[in-house]
């Protein structure tokens, strides 16, 4: 049986440190959706934040549930809603291309390592939800039992950008 992979794009953050909405920067979520369509992803869902943001995005868009009060709660909720294998994508993955997405899809339960040797749990590949630490108090802890995925050919694609100073290093 061929497993299906759903891309779950996180685009509901306030982007306070960046000073503008990261979901709209550098082609934004539209660019990420295009890269997902060029990859082996079979379904793309954008978690957009509040209901007022739904119209900002194309395709299948879900508002974050009102009972979720933190990113970890939203990530865990989103994962539980989907039966397929998953690849998580933050809207600030400005360098991510279809080749990096496909490289992740070839892996089982992993967290990619970026060009700065940092784990990027919001880009995790999820194929076995039993390995998720559902009692976690942080995104890192949620995927603490997932192995690192180190691939120098794609590490720059796995970098995310949280503040304006990060953009200086954007390649």
Q: Low-confidence residues of the chain, pLDDT below 50?
A: 1, 163-171
Residue 39 belongs to what domain range? 5-166
The answer for residues whose C-beta is within 8 angstroms of residue 129's C-beta and 6 or more apart is: 79, 80
> Residue 39: inside a domain, yes or no?
yes
What is the pLDDT, as a whole number, of residue 3? 76
What is the pLDDT, as a whole number, of residue 14? 63
What is the pLDDT, as a whole number, of residue 58? 94
CATH number at residue 52: 3.90.550.10
In total, how many domains does the chain have? 1
> Residue 171: inside a domain, yes or no?
no
What does the DSSP assignment read for 22-71? Answer: GGGGGGHHHHHHHHHHHTT-SEEEEE-SSGGGGGGS-SEEEPPPTT--SH
> Residue 129: inside a domain, yes or no?
yes
Sheet holding 147-149: strands in order across? 60-62, 43-47, 5-10, 85-90, 125-126, 110-112, 147-149
């Amino acid at each position: 049986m061929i497993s299906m992979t759903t891309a779950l794009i996180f685009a509901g953050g306030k982007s306070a440190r960046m000073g503008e909405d990261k979901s709209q920067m550098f082609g934004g979520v539209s660019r990420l959706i295009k890269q997902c369509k060029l990859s082996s992803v079979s379904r793309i869902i954008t978690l957009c934040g509040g209901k007022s943001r739904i119209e900002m995005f194309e395709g299948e868009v879900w508002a974050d549930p009102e009972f979720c009060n933190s990113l970890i709660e939203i990530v865990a909720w989103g994962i539980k809603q989907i039966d397929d294998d998953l690849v998580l994508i933050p809207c600030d993955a400005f360098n991510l291309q279809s080749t990096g997405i496909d490289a992740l899809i070839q892996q089982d339960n992993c967290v990619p390592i970026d060009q700065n040797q940092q784990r990027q749990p919001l880009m995790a590949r999820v194929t076995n939800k039993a390995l998720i630490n559902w009692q976690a108090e942080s995104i890192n802890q949620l995927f603490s039992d997932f192995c690192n995925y180190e691939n120098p050919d794609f590490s720059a694609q796995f970098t995310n950008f949280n503040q304006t100073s990060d953009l200086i290093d954007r390649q």
